[in-house]
Amino acid sequence: MVATETVLKTRPVSPLQARLRVATRRVRDVWYQIRRSYVAMAGLLILIFFAAMAILAPFIARYGPLETAPPCNALGQLCPPSGAHPFGTSFGNRDVLSQVIWGSQVSLFVGVLSAIVASVVGTAVGLISGFAGGWIDEVMMRFNDIVLSVPWLVLMIVVAAMLGQIDLTGLILVIGLTGWSITARVIRAQVLTVKERMFVERAKMIGSSNFHLLARHIFPNAFPLIFANTILTVAVSILSESVLAFLGLSSPTHMSWGRIIDESIDGGALINNNPGWLVVPGLGIVFLVFGFYLFGHALDEILNPRLRRR
């Protein structure tokens, strides 16, 4: 009774305001659970560390990503690790530490944007396929099977070759357009269960259009899953970027971590006694991916506790 009175006393809210309030409350709930989860917080801290590195790169890197440092000896050999170059120098006498700091920008940028591309495509395919059912579902899922069955590295290299020149946009498209299959499957499965829920039946009964059903009922209920899935996809995309760079497919004007590793192989980091050139950018990838996995994994558990892995 008390509750009803309080509601009546407040000013009427517009539907938009109401939805905003529900959304804020939901976000606050999730944030509360994230703060209680050690795994999520550990992941988040790692991500904040790398995000800070990427944003502050212009201030904390002593040299530019492609800038040549003054030579250390008369022979023009690479500098060994020292106070000026904690991890030595690489090709063209570039400071490895500065390259790694700048590289965080490229890896994060490519990873996040290609994950968004993959998620948008995967979500669209999953939503339509799961919602429409019938032959549309059949055709889309068969196509999805085909894409999943072609060896993914070959698929990526061929798409990269098709795009011709590789720049950051090209990389993002290659990784995004080859990485949506798993997302589509996950979203489709979620749509299939949401579709059977009572409120969807009810909305259908009162004559809601398909668009309304998708936009107002199915998408909002699949969204938490999409969000958690996107974060996990970022991790996969960062790995894909490094593999492509290792095979020589990287933007010539940007220094990603994958490209630094690739150059360290060609430049003989081990023979030149400079293991930092190989190890440090690799640790960057490992820890950044670790951060995304931890956070995404924890979020996945928070956002759908009843999700059964199949």
Partner 1 sequence: MGKLLRIVARRLINALVTIFGIIVLNYVLVRMMPGDPAVVIAPRLPGYEGLIDSNRQLFGLDRGPWEQFVIYLQRTVTLDWGISYRWNQPVAEILMRDLGWTLLLVGTATVFIIIFGMIIGSYAAWKRGKPFDLASTGLGIFFYGMPTFWLGLVLIALFANPSFRPAWWWPLLPSQGYYNVNLGPWAWDWAHVSSALQHLILPSLTLAVGSLAGISLVMRSSLIDVMTEDFVLTARAKGLSEQEVLRRHIFPNGLPPMVQLIALDIAFVIGGAYQVEVIFGYQGIGYRTINAIYDLDYPLLQFIVVVGGTAIVIANLIADFILLKLDPRIRIA
Residues forming contacts to partner 1 in the complex (CB under 8 A) are 142-143, 145-155, 157-158, 161-162, 164, 235, 239, 242-243, 246-247, 258, 261, 265, 270-271, 273, 275, 278-279, 282, 285-286, 289-290, 292-294, 297, 308-310
* Amino acid, single-letter form, for residue 251: S
Gap between the Cα atoms of 211 and 179, Å rounded = 26
Which of 43, 69 has the CB closer to partner 1? 43
Which of 171, 214 has the CB closer to partner 1? 171
Which of 188, 297 has the CB closer to partner 1? 297
Q: How would you class 81 by CB atoms within 10 Å of its CB: exposed for 0-12, middle for 13-18, buried for 19 or more?
A: middle
- Residue 156 CB, nearest approach to partner 1 (Å): 9
- Residue 28 CB, nearest approach to partner 1 (Å): 27
- Residue 212 CB, nearest approach to partner 1 (Å): 30
Give residues with Cβ within 8 angstroms of 71, minimum separation 6: 79, 93
Which of 69, 115 has the CB closer to partner 1? 115
Residue 125 gets the label, from left (phi > 0), alpha (psi -120 to 50) or beta, of alpha
- With CA atoms as reference, report the closest residue to 284 among 246, 238, 230, 228: 238
- Residue 54 CB, nearest approach to partner 1 (Å): 18
Q: Distance of alpha carbon 5 from its chain centroid, rounded? A: 46
Q: Distance of alpha carbon 183 from its chain centroid, rounded? A: 12
β-sheet bridge partners, residue 90: 94
- Residue 276 CB, nearest approach to partner 1 (Å): 11
Which of 186, 214 has the CB closer to partner 1? 186
